[in-house]
Amino acid sequence: MTKFKVLMISTTIPEIGLRLLKTECDVVVSEGNKNAILQNIEGVDALFWWSKLKLDKEILDKAGPKLRVIGTMSAGYDNIDVEEIKKRGIKFGNTPNVLNDAVADTAVLLTLAASRRFTEGRQAIERCLWKHESGAQWLLGQDITGSTVGIVGLGGIGLAIAKRLKCFNVAKFVYTGHREKPEGKIFGAEFVSLDELLKISDFVIASVPLTKETDQMFNAEAFAKMKKTAVFVNISRGGIVNQPDLIVALKQNKIFAAGLDVMTPEPLPSDHELLKLPNCVLMPHLGSATEKTRSKMAELTANNILKALNGEPMLAPVV
């Protein structure tokens, strides 16, 4: 029996992904750059995708008509042309839920770090600005205890963030999104409009996918609605923020601080303005980057692909 042919992008996938696929498929492992992908993709039955590159018509055309299954090892798929995939009748799945805890941990880390002036404190040590006489009001931060936390997008990750922050004795949780959610009610969070959330929240935490609707939703207008003491955290996608507007808001202290795991572009150039802001904490898109989480993501992606190749529903289908 001829085996299915799978192209795995990239060479850095946790071992379990390759091991599972190899039980039923011939696997070619490719670097994640476009040239390598285009060189290797022709004639494959399935694609294991781990790349920030656009998975577009050009790549799908080069793959040809045999390609009928794609699994992305990510929860988000804003870099993937889902409409084109649908049109071609290709089965497509992602890795939701398995990364909720790791990403929520990252959100908590950024919330704490931004509110307690982590970047500025570290810079102060490096620049010999930490003095005995620095005084009792030096580098004061914002408290989570007693605060109002606003979650924009109460999906699996948003809820996991709220659950974690509850332990910090938050006074009130609010959230916004398309609709009120039963899990919001059970948790004890109030559903409010985006405007209301921006107005009343001490912490605004974004956990929405990047779509046409959320593209640059955090812009000058949104930052102007926030409290001057507000801390903004983004663990979803850089594209939901108008970054020049955020930089202005941080420079002019229109908001207190930001904690970002995601930004534009990625990778961020080392001389980027964001890195020069003392009230901005940055991580290089590490939300799901723990050993266990990445292994679970690799396993789910491989199983999505194997199921679909065998004519069964994927464990986590998108289309």
How far the first Cα of the chain sits from its last, in Å, is 28
Beta-ladder partners of 25: 4
Considering only residues 57-76, where is the footprint of ligand GLV by CB under 6 A?
A: 74-76
Which CB, 117 or 237, lies closer to ligand GLV? 237
The CB-of-275 to ligand GLV minimum distance in angstroms stands at 20
Residue 254, C-beta contacts closer than 8 angstroms, at least 6 positions apart: 223, 224, 226, 228, 248
The CB-of-67 to ligand GLV minimum distance in angstroms stands at 22
Examine residue 284 and say whether the peptide bond preceding it is cis (omega within 30 degrees of 0). no
Considering only residues 97-136, where is the footprint of ligand GLV by CB under 6 A?
A: 99
Q: Are 26 and 49 in contact (CB under 8 A)?
A: no
Residue 178 is a catalytic residue: no
Which CB, 101 or 202, lies closer to ligand GLV? 101
Q: Are 294 and 102 in contact (CB under 8 A)?
A: no
Considering only residues 279-298, where is the footprint of ligand GLV by CB under 6 A?
A: 287-288
Which CB, 30 or 74, lies closer to ligand GLV? 74
Which CB, 141 or 153, lies closer to ligand GLV? 153
303 near ligand GLV, judged by CB under 6 A: no
Q: Are 104 and 75 in contact (CB under 8 A)?
A: no
**Which one is catalytic: 132, 178, 272, 285?**
285
Examine residue 65 and say whether the peptide bond preceding it is cis (omega within 30 degrees of 0). no
Tell me which residues are annotated as active site. Answer: 285
Site residues (vs ligand GLV, CB under 6 A): 74-76, 99, 287-288
